[in-house]
């Protein structure tokens, strides 16, 4: 009855496996619909599936699930629909709030850094199994041209993970990759149970050369069937459990073998506990604790990445505003120069102006045309850099050819908010992501230092085991035929056969128990490896403490320097504004004098050139002022808070709450975009700008 039932189960096994595979999860496909160009609509958030890779996949009800690979979705290479909603008549009308929102959705630096969150989760899952961790690259990615260190022509980035390797990974030294003592310590038995099975059929023929083991034909034939199962699992306190269950079935043609076939079974449970090295939860869960810290560091590092990217985008936006305004200034200057040239030609024709004045005016026009071309080229470059920073791909011909029109302008407050410098420094000490990373890293190194100290101890393991064995089978008929005294073993109780069930019963009825306790001691003489690891771990910990102090000092200097820049650039804006007002009034006055012949066309050109220079300086000063305010917010760690940016939106890559950058006003001459107006900026300390 058992054999037919087993055959039917084998036949049904493929159907069961197929049903398990077919019942696997199928990734959902989300279709994104862009807003119609004729009627732009606000971008709607799309569904996003965020998966925590630190959670193991259960084997129930799908038993094969832990052994199936996880399908990771392809990178999203399409732009968010927000870009289409901002486009009108072939132009992108872009406010600074929309620029930041587009960067959070499309910037590739953030896309690259976003993967580190899942990598850290996968590393935590690895640590939960008892394995060593691989580390997480938590460096800042600055590969957006036109923003950050290096600019358009600079060489930035040291790989796909980021430009710098922070506390989550290893460091790079002058002689190559330098490893750390993080994770060094006593060996850890896998926390994931391991089941090992051996099923073997062995046919062994041996020529008999002994009178004590005769066999028909002089060849001893022995068939051995082996079925062994072993179980091993480690626990957080340095405890290891092993269990083994072995079975053999032996048939032979030997005439001196007592049993044929012979059944044999044995089992053993063994419990081992580390008493010195590897004792306790800390040395055995150090990888889990460090991996959790690395996961927390990856969150902080991603926040730092968002801060860095937003800082870059805002700076690039004001560069675009400067380029856009500079074209307007150069166009006005060229208009003045062209009018002066026309007037000079008319005056030269009637003899009221010398010909050299016409030549001078032509030179001024040529210079104005050159300046305008340079300004237009710079504007086109800034537009290209901005479109690249705010999109995943600019291969779309409509996007590639679209002009970017900034619709925000700088709003300088009448009075600068007065915040004590110590309050700013305190904000930076609490909010700067770099300091948070350093503190988490110190905690990881403290865990590691304690684990390394434990690994200096000798290895002393206490163990206890219990097992049993059983024998069964049939009396060998060949032995009886040769007249040998083949008496059955006492366990047979006079019978000539003992079944497999009776053999297994011997394992638990104390027929032949195997039990014991003991200690295993290993003392490394000189112990130089452990000494080296302990000293280096302590040195790395002290080095990290000094690095944190150095970083705090650097943050204090950055805050003070940023505050100085705000004051200086505000003064520069006021000075440039006065210069523009004076130049414009001078030009208006000289134009009135020119009508009555009290001045010359050359003086008018000089006044126009002075006004052009002043307006260009004013635009540049306003951009520098706004950049200094951005730097102050970055230095104090409040950039995201002041801009109303939700890190959860950045993590998903879909903005549900439009950012609200402070100290910004809509440009008066900006055409309507069809977008709903942004909410009113919150009141800032010291009054609204």
Residue 415 lies in a domain: no
Neighbours of 326 (CB within 10 A): 24
Q: What are 183-224's pLDDT values in tens digits?
A: 888 999 999 999 999 999 999 888 877 666 666 777 888 899
Confidence of residue 41 (pLDDT cuts 50, 70, 90): very low
pTM greater than 0.85 (yes/no):
no
Neighbours of 34 (CB within 10 A): 17
In this structure, of 217-226, 450-459, 644-653, 676-685, the range with the lowest mean pLDDT score is 676-685
Whether 273 and 461 have beta carbons less than 8 Å apart is answered as: yes
Neighbours of 252 (CB within 10 A): 21
Q: Is the pLDDT of residue 362 over 70?
A: yes
- Residue 21 in tokens: 């595979």
DSSP one-letter code for 67: G
Q: Is the pLDDT of residue 429 over 60?
A: yes
DSSP one-letter code for 689: -
How confident is the model at residue 683, as a pLDDT?
34
Distance, CA of 121 to CA of 373 (rounded, Å): 52
How confident is the model at residue 187, as a pLDDT?
92
Where b means 16+ CB within 10 Å and e means fewer, 452-489 reads bbbbbbebbbeeebebbbbbbbbbbebbeeeeeebebe
Residue 244 lies in a domain: yes
Whether 402 and 91 have beta carbons less than 8 Å apart is answered as: yes
- Among residues 286, 288, 298, which one has the least CA distance to residue 125? 288
Distance, CA of 574 to CA of 624 (rounded, Å): 13
Where b means 16+ CB within 10 Å and e means fewer, 579-605 reads bbeebeeebeebeeebeeeebbbbebb
Q: What are 116-152's pLDDT values in tens digits?
A: 999 999 999 999 999 999 988 888 888 888 765 433 4
How confident is the model at residue 660, as a pLDDT?
92
Whether 432 and 227 have beta carbons less than 8 Å apart is answered as: no
- Residue 682 in tokens: 């919150």
Distance, CA of 317 to CA of 405 (rounded, Å): 10
End-to-end alpha carbon distance in the chain: 91
Over range 451-455, report the average pLDDT: 95
Q: Is the pLDDT of residue 688 over 90?
A: no
| Residue 625, helix vs strand vs coil | helix
Over range 338-355, report the average pLDDT: 83
Higher pLDDT among residues 40 and 628, named by residue: 628
Residues 6+ away with beta carbon under 8 Å from 120: 136, 168, 291, 294, 295, 297, 298
Residue-averaged pLDDT of the chain: 82
- Residue 382 in tokens: 């800034």
Distance, CA of 236 to CA of 16 (rounded, Å): 36
Distance, CA of 362 to CA of 70 (rounded, Å): 71
Residues 6+ away with beta carbon under 8 Å from 637: 307, 427, 428, 430, 431, 432, 433
Distance, CA of 305 to CA of 559 (rounded, Å): 19
Residue 218 lies in a domain: yes
How confident is the model at residue 112, as a pLDDT?
93
Residue 183 lies in a domain: no
Provide the strand spans (E) within 112-238: 171-173, 176-178, 194-207, 219-234
Whether 448 and 132 have beta carbons less than 8 Å apart is answered as: no
Residue 59 lies in a domain: no
Q: What are 562-594's pLDDT values in tens digits?
A: 999 999 999 999 999 999 999 999 989 988 887
How confident is the model at residue 478, as a pLDDT?
65
For residue 296, the Cα-to-chain-centroid distance in whole angstroms is 11
- Residue 343 in tokens: 């007037």
- Among residues 51, 34, 31, which one has the least CA distance to residue 652? 51
Distance, CA of 86 to CA of 40 (rounded, Å): 7
Whether 138 and 117 have beta carbons less than 8 Å apart is answered as: no
Whether 50 and 652 have beta carbons less than 8 Å apart is answered as: yes
Residue 109 lies in a domain: no
Distance, CA of 230 to CA of 217 (rounded, Å): 39
Distance, CA of 160 to CA of 477 (rounded, Å): 74
How confident is the model at residue 480, as a pLDDT?
57
Distance, CA of 308 to CA of 315 (rounded, Å): 11
Residue 255 lies in a domain: yes
Over range 331-360, report the average pLDDT: 85
* Domain that residue 254 falls in: 194-234+239-277+459-522
How confident is the model at residue 482, as a pLDDT?
55
Three state DSSP letters for 645-684: CCHHHHHHCCCCCCCCCCCEEECCCCCCCCCCCCCCCCCC
Measured between alpha carbons, how far is residue 381 from residues 145, 354, 624 in Å?
A: 11, 42, 19
- Among residues 555, 74, 467, 416, which one has the least CA distance to residue 245? 467
Distance, CA of 163 to CA of 497 (rounded, Å): 76
Triad 234, 235, 239: Cα angle to 5°: 80
Where b means 16+ CB within 10 Å and e means fewer, 150-173 reads eeeeeebbeeebbbbbbbbbeeee
Taking 3-state DSSP, the helix, strand and coil percentages for the chain, each rounded to the nearest 5, stand at 50, 15, 35
Residue 405 lies in a domain: no
Whether 141 and 131 have beta carbons less than 8 Å apart is answered as: no
Q: Total structural domains in the chain?
A: 1
Q: Is the pLDDT of residue 631 over 90?
A: yes
Q: Tell me whether the omega of the peptide bond preceding residue 261 falls within 30 degrees of 0, making it cis.
A: yes
């Amino acid at each position: 009855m058992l054999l037919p039932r087993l055959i039917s189960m084998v036949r049904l096994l493929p159907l069961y496996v197929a049903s398990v595979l077919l019942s696997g999860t199928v990734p959902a496909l989300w279709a994104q619909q862009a807003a119609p160009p004729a009627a732009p609509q606000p971008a709607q958030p799309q569904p996003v599936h965020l998966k925590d890779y630190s959670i193991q996949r259960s084997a129930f009800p799908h038993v094969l699930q832990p052994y199936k690979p996880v399908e990771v979705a392809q990178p999203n290479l399409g732009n968010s629909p927000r870009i289409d909603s901002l486009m009108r008549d072939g132009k992108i009308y872009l406010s600074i709030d929309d620029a930041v929102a587009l960067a959070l959705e499309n910037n590739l630096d953030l896309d690259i850094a976003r993967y580190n969150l899942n990598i850290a989760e996968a590393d935590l899952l690895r640590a939960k199994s008892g394995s060593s961790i691989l580390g997480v690259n938590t460096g800042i990615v600055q590969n957006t041209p036109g923003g950050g260190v290096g600019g358009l022509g600079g060489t930035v980035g040291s790989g796909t993970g980021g430009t710098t390797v922070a506390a989550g990974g290893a460091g790079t030294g002058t002689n190559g990759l330098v490893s750390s003592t993080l994770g060094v310590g006593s060996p850890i038995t896998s926390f994931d149970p391991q089941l090992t099975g051996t099923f073997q059929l062995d046919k062994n023929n041996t020529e008999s050369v002994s009178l004590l083991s005769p066999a028909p034909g002089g060849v001893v034939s022995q068939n051995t069937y082996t079925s062994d199962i072993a179980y091993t699992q480690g626990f957080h306190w340095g405890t290891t459990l092993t269990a083994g269950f072995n079975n053999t079935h032996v048939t032979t043609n030997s005439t001196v073998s007592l049993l044929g076939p012979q059944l044999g079974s044995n089992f053993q449970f063994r419990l081992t506990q580390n008493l010195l090295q590897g004792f306790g939860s800390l040395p055995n869960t150090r990888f889990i604790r460090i991996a959790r810290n690395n996961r927390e560091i990856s969150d902080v590092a991603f926040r730092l990445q968002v801060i860095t990217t937003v800082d870059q985008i805002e700076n690039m936006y004001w560069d675009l505003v400067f380029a856009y305004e500079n074209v307007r200034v150069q166009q006005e200057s060229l208009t003045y120069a062209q009018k002066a040239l026309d007037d000079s030609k008319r005056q030269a024709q009637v003899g009221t102006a010398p010909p050299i004045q016409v030549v001078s005016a032509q030179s001024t026009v040529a210079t104005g045309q050159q300046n305008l071309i340079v300004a237009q080229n710079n504007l086109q470059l800034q537009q290209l850099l901005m479109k690249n920073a705010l999109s995943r791909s600019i291969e779309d011909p409509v996007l590639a050819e679209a002009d970017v029109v900034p619709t925000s302008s700088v709003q300088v407050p009448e009075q600068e908010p007065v915040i004590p410098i110590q309050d700013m420094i305190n904000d930076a000490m609490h909010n700067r992501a770099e300091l948070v990373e350093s503190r988490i890293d110190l905690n990881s190194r403290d865990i590691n230092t304690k684990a390394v100290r434990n690994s200096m101890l000798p290895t002393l393991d206490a163990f206890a085991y219990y097992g049993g064995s059983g024998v069964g089978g049939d009396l060998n008929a060949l032995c009886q035929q040769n007249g040998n005294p083949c008496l059955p073993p006492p366990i047979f109780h006079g019978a000539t056969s003992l079944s497999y069930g009776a053999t297994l019963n011997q394992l638990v009825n104390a027929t032949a128990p195997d039990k014991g306790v003991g200690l295993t001691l290993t003392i490394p003489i000189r112990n130089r490896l452990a000494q080296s690891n302990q000293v280096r771990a302590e040195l790395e910990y002290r080095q990290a403490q000094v690095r944190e102090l150095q970083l705090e000092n650097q943050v204090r200097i950055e805050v003070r320097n940023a505050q100085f820049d705000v004051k200086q650039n505000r003064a520069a804006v006021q000075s440039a504004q006065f210069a523009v007002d004076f130049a414009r009034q001078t030009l208006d006055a000289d134009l009135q004098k020119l009508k009555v012949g009290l001045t010359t066309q050359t003086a008018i050109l000089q006044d126009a050139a002075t006004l052009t220079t002043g307006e260009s300086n004013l635009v540049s000063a306003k951009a520098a002022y706004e950049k200094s305010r951005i730097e102050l917010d970055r230095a104090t760690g409040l950039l995201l808070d002041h801009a109303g940016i939700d890190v959860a939106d950045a993590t998903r890559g879909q903005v549900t709450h439009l950012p609200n950058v402070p100290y910004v006003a809509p440009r008066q001459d900006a055409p309507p975009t069809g977008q709903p107006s942004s909410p009113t900026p919150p009141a800032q300390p010291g009054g609204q700008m």
